[in-house]
Amino acid sequence: MDRVDYQSLVIQDLNNLHKADELDLSPWYQRRSVWAPAQKSYLINTIFEQKPIPALYIRHSLDLEKSKSVKEIVDGQQRTRTMLSYCNDEFSAKHPEHSNQSVKFSQLTKAQQQKFLLTSIPIGYLLGATDSDVIDIFGRINSVSKSLNGQEKRNAAYSGEMKQLCLRQASSRVSFWRNCNVFTANDIARMGEVQFVSDLIYSLINGLSSYSTANLDNMYKMYDESFPQMDVINNQLDFVFDFAASINPNKISDTVFNRQPIFFSLLYVIHTKQPLTIKKVEKAIIEIDERFNSDTNKSPEDIEFYTACSATTQGIASRRIRHSYILSFM
């Protein structure tokens, strides 16, 4: 292969190429289109929000029999199909200028349609690529999923209302995570804070529960296309996090409460025990931290709490012990 030449095409260009039969969306090594409706809608919403999307990789070749050039989609088939099918009014997507209601292409204003069609899509042209080059590149691009953690896999697999709620709640609180020192930069880079929010949402829906990868996977799947409780859960999260953000961040960052499992328990207590005052919560945090770090005069309850913070911290038994203990100081 000679090189990769990065350029761009607007969505209307892709539409024109497809209508002219100059876009090969089904090369023999590609998967069939398998995106769920929620994934399609999420991509279109991403374009509406003017957020970046991954580049398409295209091998440009000539069909000598038909005397025309052909652009073969090496990577990005499903993204391309999604953009084309939206232009054909085949599904709807949420638009920020329509009160985030789902709309089809035909329901956009003329100005909105034009803006969508003129959206620039990054293209990587594989120049001089042989079939062997293409297979190697396709394999390299798609091998990244082998190293994804559980939350990154959920993020890749789902695009609907549950994923969007978790991402929105987690990403809007970056300053909070940093101030409280609950998550490291690497945790955030690997979506640890999104998984934390997902886990909290699961307990808000189902009552205090164990952490379980399978439970979170099922929750994302169940509420991918529709999450009727979204507004209620969103408001509950806003209240809990806004309350926690009013606590002196040093009371969390400099105490045992900067540990994710214990911080989770604090948030769940804030959710269940109201009314509370910031002063009362800060006093409780200090007292609990002092008892936790004390080597003497530990009560049976102190010892039980210490144990619940030190082993199998994500199980329901440990979570119930921590919840009851913290609650007793409120």
Show the tokens assigned to 208: 């205090």
pTM of the model: 0.73
90 vs 29: CA distance, rounded Å: 26
In the structure, what pLDDT confidence band is assigned to residue 31 with cuts at 50, 70 and 90? low
Average pLDDT of the chain to the nearest whole number: 91
143 vs 194: CA distance, rounded Å: 23
Q: What's the helix, strand, coil split of the chain in %, to 5?
A: 60, 10, 30
Q: Which residues sit opposite 4 in a β-bridge?
A: 126
**Residue 230: burial class (beta carbons within 10 Å; 0-12, 13-18, 19+):** middle
In the structure, what pLDDT confidence band is assigned to residue 33 with cuts at 50, 70 and 90? low
Using one digit for the tens of pLDDT, what is the confidence trace for 252-311?
Answer: 999 999 999 999 999 999 999 989 999 999 999 999 999 999 988 899 999 999 999 987
Q: Report yes or no: 88 and 11 within 8 Å, Cβ to Cβ.
A: no
CA atoms within 13 A on the CB side of 276: 28
Q: Report yes or no: 265 and 319 within 8 Å, Cβ to Cβ.
A: yes
Residue 308: name the closest of 326, 295, 329 by CA: 326
pLDDT of residue 117: 97
Question: Who's near 325: CB < 8 A, 6+ residues apart?
Answer: 288, 301, 304, 305, 308
Q: Report the b/e string of 157-171 with b at 16+ CB within 10 A.
A: bbbbbbbbbbbebbe
Using one digit for the tens of pLDDT, what is the confidence trace for 8-21?
Answer: 999 999 999 999 88
Q: Which domains does the chain have, with CATH numbers?
A: 3-146 (3.90.1530.10), 150-328 (no CATH)
Question: Who's near 202: CB < 8 A, 6+ residues apart?
Answer: 209, 215, 216, 219
Using one digit for the tens of pLDDT, what is the confidence trace for 206-245?
Answer: 999 999 999 999 999 999 989 999 999 999 999 999 999 9
* pLDDT beyond 70 at 158: yes
263 vs 96: CA distance, rounded Å: 34
pLDDT of residue 148: 76
Give the strand pairing for 23-24 and 3-10.
unpaired
Least confidently predicted of 92-106, 135-149, 250-264: 135-149
Show the tokens assigned to 320: 């119930």
111 vs 88: CA distance, rounded Å: 17
DSSP 148: -
**Residue 143: burial class (beta carbons within 10 Å; 0-12, 13-18, 19+):** exposed
Q: Report yes or no: 154 and 167 within 8 Å, Cβ to Cβ.
A: no
**215 or 190: which leads in pLDDT:** 215
